[in-house]
Structure 1
């Protein structure tokens, strides 16, 4: 009996040892398999972590963009109604950007005011600001020494703050066969020294230059530091009230020419914008190529050559300025607030949507 029990105990012990070894073996096998699997999947895990990291970074970037400066972030915006005016080139900004500002900042009321006895433009707007008829002005050209002197004589100063860029485009009748003009040729045309298109490679056709009167000019073709500054325009120049009137005249007079804000005239169907250059071998169009023909318009319209404005290759640039009266009063406060609104990320995007180039 004892021998039988001893045999059973021995057998049970051997079975227990066998099962223990089997379990340990399985555990070791699982550990080895798990290690192999981890080693094989490690590159994918690292890759996934990299993707997750990039995804998080992308989300952060979107978040940063979403929280960029906008009209709501500007402080010291006065609660009142203000008069402003000036450059006709700013018309699309007044329609698009200013309407957005007043929608987001309803406490601010902006009222555009036209001049009474002059054509609308940068010059007339600055003059109205000097006379106390506007609280700030919009200009497509820099302040002149004369305007600064007038302000000083009245007990204050004027400051100009750039918020955007435009190009000065030269437009003609679509039928005119001229490849382009140099800046010097353009100057000579308006000084009355070049009077026929055959002098600049065109047909035998008298040139009829159109322009706003210098005292009401919206834009200028003679740089403020040019030797030609202040020279009288030629006796053959015909004066127009606005760009709208000039465009009408261009369609009637085959040899006519006009210069204005590119945003005002480049997209027009009834005129043709000429490439300009410092030399005849470097003519740059103010529109994006290829040019949209009159037959394609208005289904398609020419757009501003923003790249040439940004990189400075286009020869005549018009900077957009807010003109502010420095008198430590409410006019200065609203001028500063309006400038700051336009310089926000939201304001700069809106300026570009209006057809101009931002400065930030």
Structure 2
């Protein structure tokens, strides 16, 4: 009897051990399977999180880049307007203004040439004062005389900067001269330096070309300069436009001209000179290395935008929209046009046109 009970107890113990081992084995198996599944699914979960994160980031980026564009500007009038002015703005009118009118078809812009005057900042501002333009584009600041004329007519003029350009000095490609200081350039146009050998060049008379001061598109004498208002030298030959000046320079070995860098730097028939505050700090208006005449027009010089942007190039032309402050339709369109150019989209387009933005 005792032996029988002992055998039963032994059998029951072995069964219990077997069952316990079976349960533990199943638990371990489930843990292994679960861990394996987690390991296999982990890359997908990480990838999904990464995609979600990237999507959110992309959405934020798109939202940021589209937050300031032509469509976001309010108070853009629905009408047709006349504008004009600086020839330096030609590429902006071609590229930027066409984009504005494509995105905002309710706005119609019509460029108007001056009558009996060469196109430029000065003639554009005069046309604005005379009521022939609704706003003007200028590559120089307003003068005291222009502000006085506006005041005499019962309104004021505001200038709002939207971009920057350099003023380049160009010569005949055959001229051997390393560059000019700003003071030397001033003395050339005042008739005090008359031969290139006075500035390290060959024994060759200097023939300065310029637009007439009253029609000037850009200026080399600062409004704060002591030289402002001085009479140009008697040897200065006046031209109608930069196009005419470039054509003349190809025929005049000792000729020199200054204009918007965007207008003349890429031309094949002239050579742009480095400029500086001193002869030891000459900065080219083009990106180096300079493209030779033989390489042009397959390759063309490009504006040294970095030097314009950081101020190391010594003569900068600021681009202004000139707005008539009369609380009328002219003021409304001038403000709207300026605000369009100052959007992110407008500033990118200005840089695509070859200038430097201000934002």
SS in 2 for 1:48: helix
SS in 2 for 1:280: coil
Instruction: Go from structure 1 to structure 2 and tell me whether the alpha carbon gap of 1:45 and 1:72 turns closer, same or farther (over 3 Å shift).
Output: closer
- The C-alpha deviation readout for 1:10-33, integer Å capped at 9, x for no partner, is 746743541233322442576489
Aligned equivalents of 1:136 and 1:299: distance in 2? 37
Q: Which moved more, 1:262-271 or 1:36-45?
A: 36-45
Aligned equivalents of 2:54 and 2:107: distance in 1? 42
Aligned equivalents of 1:187 and 1:59: distance in 2? 53
- The C-alpha deviation readout for 1:218-269, integer Å capped at 9, x for no partner, is 0000001000000010000000000000000000000000000000000000
- The C-alpha deviation readout for 1:188-217, integer Å capped at 9, x for no partner, is 000000000000000000000000000000
- The C-alpha deviation readout for 1:147-199, integer Å capped at 9, x for no partner, is 00000000000000000000000000000000000000000000000000000
SS in 2 for 1:252: coil
Alignment: residue pair count: 359
Instruction: Go from structure 1 to structure 2 and tell me whether the alpha carbon gap of 1:106 and 1:62 turns closer, same or farther (over 3 Å shift).
Output: closer
Aligned equivalents of 1:58 and 1:79: distance in 2? 34
Q: Shift in Å at residue 60 of structure 1?
A: 2.9
Aligned equivalents of 1:8 and 1:59: distance in 2? 74
Q: Shift in Å at residue 320 of structure 1?
A: 0.1
Q: Which moved more, 1:29-38 or 1:163-172?
A: 29-38
Q: Which moved more, 1:286-295 or 1:11-20?
A: 11-20
Q: Which moved more, 1:28-37 or 1:259-268?
A: 28-37
Q: What residue is the counterpart of 2:9 in the other structure?
A: 9
Aligned equivalents of 1:69 and 1:44: distance in 2? 37
Q: What residue is the counterpart of 1:301 in the other structure?
A: 300
Q: Shift in Å at residue 9 of structure 1?
A: 9.4
Instruction: Go from structure 1 to structure 2 and tell me whether the alpha carbon gap of 1:38 and 1:106 turns closer, same or farther (over 3 Å shift).
Output: closer
Gaps of 5+ in 2: none
Q: Shift in Å at residue 2 of structure 1?
A: 14
Matching of residue 109 in structure 1 with residue 108 in structure 2? yes
SS in 2 for 1:165: strand
Q: Shift in Å at residue 40 of structure 1?
A: 13
TM-score by length of 1: 0.92
Matching of residue 38 in structure 1 with residue 17 in structure 2? no
Aligned equivalents of 1:94 and 1:40: distance in 2? 59
Instruction: Go from structure 1 to structure 2 and tell me whether the alpha carbon gap of 1:126 and 1:176 turns closer, same or farther (over 3 Å shift).
Output: same
Q: Shift in Å at residue 8 of structure 1?
A: 7.8
Q: Shift in Å at residue 38 of structure 1?
A: 8.1
Aligned equivalents of 1:224 and 1:41: distance in 2? 71
Q: Shift in Å at residue 89 of structure 1?
A: 0.2
TM-score by length of 2: 0.92
SS in 1 for 2:151: helix
What does 1:189-228 align with in structure 2 at a 5 Å threshold? 189-228=188-227
Q: Shift in Å at residue 64 of structure 1?
A: 2.5
Aligned equivalents of 1:104 and 1:35: distance in 2? 57
Aligned equivalents of 1:23 and 1:339: distance in 2? 80
